Structure 1
Amino acid sequence: MKNLLTLLSRSVWLAALATAPAFAADHLDTPTVIADPAADIGDLFAWTSADGKRLNLVMDIVGKRFSDQVQYVFHVDSGQALGRTSATTRLVCQFDAAGAASCWAGRADRLQGDVSSPQGLAGRGGRFRVFAGLRDAPYFNNVRGTRSALNAAGAAIQAGQAPQDASGFRRFDAETLKRLPQLWGQTQGGPARNFLAGWTTSAIVVSVDLDLVKTGGPLLAVWGRSERRQLAPANEPPPPGAPIDRMGRALTGNALLATVGEEDIANLLKEAYNRADPAGWPGFATEIGRNLALYDSFDGVAGNQWLADAQDATPGRYKRLAELLADDRLWVDSRQTRCLHYLAVERSALGAPPLADCGGRTPLQNVNAVFRSLLIRGTPDVADDGVTQDDHEHSTTAFPFLSAP
């Protein structure tokens, strides 16, 4: 650690967003991404339809318009087991200066035209449907409460009241451990409030036939990327372009990266993360592990984080979860039509009681509660920031799923 103030400031920025221009699960990004809001991915969602026939996908873009210099890509990898995929389908959308879309579902189907009406536009072969336009963002978060809690943690670290052991775990003093949940669950001394209430996003919504995207197996791994626009022969899907931003699971890229180090070094790390292809993702596991240790410290119990090895007093304690999260994809079980539990595929495969659930992420889930609670105490059932639902009503069944702004 370069210095303790850096830890505090970066942690606060990543969790609180008080000065960030993008209010979403992938909230504080690098200067390159922030400079182009139309390429800045805020959130990613993926779940199966209730009739078991389609995969529903949503990509939130921070800007209030889509760029004609960017292509927006859903990658749907498929395989037989968690962490192992053998086939990939790219769903790509480009927009012209007037907002008309050209979209491809692999090579199986394509569409071109106005996709801004709520019913969207179906592909020529009927294999997928696309909507793109302004929607209410379904992500919710008590930013100010989170910031207050992290400020308190940082102050304790700076005052020498949270010594660090060899694994990276910090032993906060009793007073700080008492104050952290209190501060986290309130907003400026009062009831917790959603800082992101009423935030409008540009959403790309796709509903695609499952048979088209599960050619490698029933388990689907979804991640999104914005890329520099590429030209292709007529009617052909564009090839991959230079990557700008990417996202898989909520919070991983920003809550567990770049919390230690000088800002310019942190930005370089985030730039590398955004631009990395899957083969390079494992290289971020060590950095993720360092930040997992900090989260594990927030309840005062070492090693009770999900997948942590409580008996290992080295950084290896957090290796298993760090490697899982470095493979930053939303996992969906296409055989399931019940989609209530965030990280259900991962939790079922890695020791939790099996969940008959598709996993993925729907617009209705409190991903903050699940993710942070697993990182702090190893259970998915505590909403630390006190906010349990969005201010708008969204849907998992009625296309285009997100509420009108």
Structure 2
Amino acid sequence: MPRYLAAALALVLAGGIAPPPAAATDHWDGPAVMAEPAADITDFFAVSLPGKRLALIMNVYPGATADTRFSDAVEYRVRLRPISGFSTQPLRAQVNDALEYLLRCRADAATAQTMRCALLRNGQKVTEVAAPVNLATGAGDPRLRVFAGNRADQSFTDLARVRMPVWRDEGMDNRPGLNSLAGKNVLSMVFLLDAAQLESKLWAAVSETHTTGSKPVQIDRMGRIEMTVFLIRDDKLKDLWNAEDSFRVDPEHEKLYRPELQSGLSRLDNFEKTLDGSNVIDWTTPHPLMDLLLDDFLILNLERTATMDSQQAGYLSVEKSLVLGQPVQSMGGRLPNEDVIKSMMTLLINGPRRDEPNRGVGVHAPAKPAVAEFPYVQPASR
């Protein structure tokens, strides 16, 4: 483990984070992150809502119980930077580093916890919210509303199927699957922002956890789903990847990530087999998505909207449009009820020009789907 990450985790342990429950779902991240569930980001959602609103949902602590608390030794963050356009060679988002909105949250150590969040624009405070944990209405003002509490896990998949090395030509999605995460809970933070205060159409969004103290160190991050499951598969690289700045990847580390990403992407492309057992290769090498994925953040188009209870497909739709040389017309981001495993696997196995067969695993929605009303994610399963 890198020395700076080991030091960070030592600081977290000193802050009193409890060990993971024996039966916890860990969402299969790097070893260092899995060891610290209070700082383990399980999911990140970004949705452009009607009425110029932006909803961001950050879930942590896989396998949380009714008694699980937010750690006062962890700072929870969401960062937003505008995208001015895209380069083509390589295919990459052009992020404006001169502007950043930062959501920064900490829970206190009191018995009845309060999550204290600040929204900053280039380091200057826009507003601050104190939200009592598990208060369903949340708290805040028109610029920022916050909910924090124990909620049902929004992840859903069939682990037995998703781990299979081959997706046969006819696919699996037409056969009912078993949701391996049904009944599981997480600690959830929901942020509702006034999108009218955001100056651009396209945004890059990433969630992070950091140690607290005078010299915070990043523990985990999440933009796109399962990057450290399907693509970054080396455990040492997973820990390094999780500690990386999504907007400024260390050039020395990038040299390590590129072959690992190519290996993971090629492996998925090889998942499709014809009936005679021969491979069906749909992507060129180096993979056209390499640089987009290296910049690990969700890409969100605020000119398109969806309701939070929708199952519409939007995840990776911006990336797919860019590969095909088409204008960005979808919302992108990620909806809680969308079958993102199907979206991801269909694109990476089939290539960008074939939507069939879809590569879902027969599980189409969370055990408790998100609803249209704030705080969107449903109460915890008991």
Greater mean deviation of Cα atoms: 356-365 or 374-383: 374-383
Residue in structure 2 matched with residue 393 of structure 1 by the alignment: 369
Residue in structure 2 matched with residue 84 of structure 1 by the alignment: 94
Per-residue deviation, 1:132: 0.4
Per-residue deviation, 1:380: 4.7
Distance 1:127-1:385 versus aligned 2 partners, 3 A rule: same
Per-residue deviation, 1:23: 3.6
Per-residue deviation, 1:198: 1.6
Q: Is the 8 A contact 2:265 2:287 kept in 1?
A: no
Instruction: Kindly provide the amino acid, as one letter, of the partner of residue 230 in structure 1.
Output: G
Q: Hey, which of these two has a bigger chunk of helix by percent? A: 1
Alignment of 1:230 onto 2:244: no
Aligned partner of 2:290 among 322, 327, 332: 322
Alignment of 1:96 onto 2:65: no
Q: Is the 8 A contact 1:370 1:380 kept in 2?
A: no
Instruction: Kindly provide the amino acid, as one letter, of the partner of residue 146 in structure 1.
Output: V
TM-score of the aligned structures, taking structure 2 as reference length: 0.78
Residue in structure 2 matched with residue 269 of structure 1 by the alignment: 237
Gap runs ≥5 in structure 2 = 1-20, 87-92, 274-278
Any idea what SS the aligned residue of 1:364 has? coil
In structure 2, C-alpha distance between the alignment counterparts of 1:145 and 1:347, rounded to whole Å = 25
In structure 2, C-alpha distance between the alignment counterparts of 1:221 and 1:353, rounded to whole Å = 19
Residue in structure 1 matched with residue 271 of structure 2 by the alignment: 298
Alignment of 1:208 onto 2:193: yes
Residue in structure 2 matched with residue 46 of structure 1 by the alignment: 46
Residue in structure 2 matched with residue 30 of structure 1 by the alignment: 30
In structure 2, C-alpha distance between the alignment counterparts of 1:249 and 1:46, rounded to whole Å = 11
Residue in structure 1 matched with residue 57 of structure 2 by the alignment: 58
Q: How does 1:2-151 map to 2 (within 5 A)?
A: 23=25, 27-51=27-51, 53-62=52-61, 63=64, 64-82=68-86, 83-86=93-96, 87-98=99-110, 99-106=113-120, 107-123=125-141, 126-147=142-163, 149-150=164-165
Q: Hey, which of these two has a bigger chunk of strand by percent? A: 2
Percent of residue pairs bearing the same amino acid type: 29
C-alpha RMSD of matched pairs (Å): 2.5
Distance 1:21-1:372 versus aligned 2 partners, 3 A rule: farther
Aligned length: 323
Q: Is the 8 A contact 1:22 1:42 kept in 2?
A: no
In structure 2, C-alpha distance between the alignment counterparts of 1:391 and 1:347, rounded to whole Å = 28
Per-residue deviation, 1:113: 4.4
In structure 1, C-alpha distance between the alignment counterparts of 2:359 and 2:153, rounded to whole Å = 19
In structure 2, C-alpha distance between the alignment counterparts of 1:286 and 1:401, rounded to whole Å = 39
Instruction: Kindly provide the amino acid, as one letter, of the partner of residue 85 in structure 1.
Output: V
Per-residue deviation, 1:50: 1.6
Any idea what SS the aligned residue of 2:154 has? coil
In structure 2, C-alpha distance between the alignment counterparts of 1:370 and 1:22, rounded to whole Å = 26
Per-residue deviation, 1:352: 6.3
Any idea what SS the aligned residue of 2:289 has? helix
In structure 2, C-alpha distance between the alignment counterparts of 1:122 and 1:57, rounded to whole Å = 15
Gap runs ≥5 in structure 1 = 1-18, 154-176, 232-239, 259-265, 310-316
